[in-house]
Structure 1
């Protein structure tokens, strides 16, 4: 990937609040009713699932998953979409990938391929129902009712579930899930990056106005490369550190500019010299108000 585009993507994904839904393990999202979830979709009830989850979206997401799993701490990833025939109350799997062909993981994928996840059940159901991402290693949170045996056999201990929003941004159109047999604590800035990267992939990078990223074209940006960026936790940690340092530098510069308008008296008190000079020019004899 072009380095310039890479940097612009990282900057936008880390700063664009419109692409980010805040999350925290202690945060309890507002409950969304079934009717509220299907409002946006009910206006297009004649639209088939194939139209909602187009082949182009499927291809881009599968390419993203391939790049993500290549260097990720997660071992299996899949995509879930709401089942229109069941009034959007359950999720069905439309794609699954694994970076290891072991019997337990293969059995887990097989069970997932025929499963239906009710809203609010497990990590995927919670992510879809709340509209917030879930990253947890608590079995009470990540295991859904229909795959409980498969979770046990595969020894899945951590799940990342991220809702992908429709173009209008008001309803979840799909859920991306990643699974690991190791316990991993949530990393906020990684969660943020994955969520925003998925939304870019869903929209299609070719549909993102070039001016948004400050580059002329995104034709060389592949979902696979974006998936690798989303899984490269070390790189993101470095970028996050640089971003924080940049914010600190900007704050320090603002403080310096402020201090340039301040003078010290003989006792070390600080006052705004500009205002003092203005007071003198106006003929006032009163002394400036010092603050300690």
Structure 2
């Protein structure tokens, strides 16, 4: 984890967005510190891409305020654009250009002075040197994604928005992109990330927010989110006693899951053990179940959908 400065890099204050009669984002507020990898999780249609478009000046909020390094996205959009770069879900590379030509185009659009040296440095950094002069049409999907990220890094932006950067990427390239994201963060850049992969969020994020139906329903560091979630314990009984154990838990009103053992909430552990011992059941194993972001995600979306 990085040690962040106290001054926020991004501030969202009660931002809202509506399309027609559909309220896509409802009163969103968040603060993102410099050098932080901040991840936004949510189901398809939750409003993640809409929020990114608002943060990157592509859409205006209907109300509320969004500032990037103290600049308003609505009042100072050109100044904001100088500081940011957006890597969208759809790759923006030109298939008929070579990798070098794609990077050179962006370098000229961003007014990079020593474009050749910067392109060489980015090609080396993202493992593209061997392929840099080939047409992008010859690249694999993972290589195109890496080139797309390289294009986002042209001009050395302070803030990088990555909208599902590893979707459709094979496991090897996915790990390589993770390495690149960490390197960017370690260099002091701020990263705003959306992803469909909860393990990716767990591995990379300094801070996570869950967006559900246009509202932030949970936020915190990965450790905080897991700590504040009910922990689970798996109890394994002798095979022939498994059904008896289920019956005893049901009679006692103790909630459980049956998955190669009886999984209960940590707070019910003492009562369950006393119950099993009193009924002379043999406990073969007792293992604390680690709470995953996937469990938290499923739990909060289920709760919110009630």
TM-score normalised according to structure 2 size: 0.31
> Greater share of strand residues, 1 or 2?
2
> Greater share of helix residues, 1 or 2?
1
Structure label with greater radius of gyration = 1
TM-score normalised according to structure 1 size: 0.32
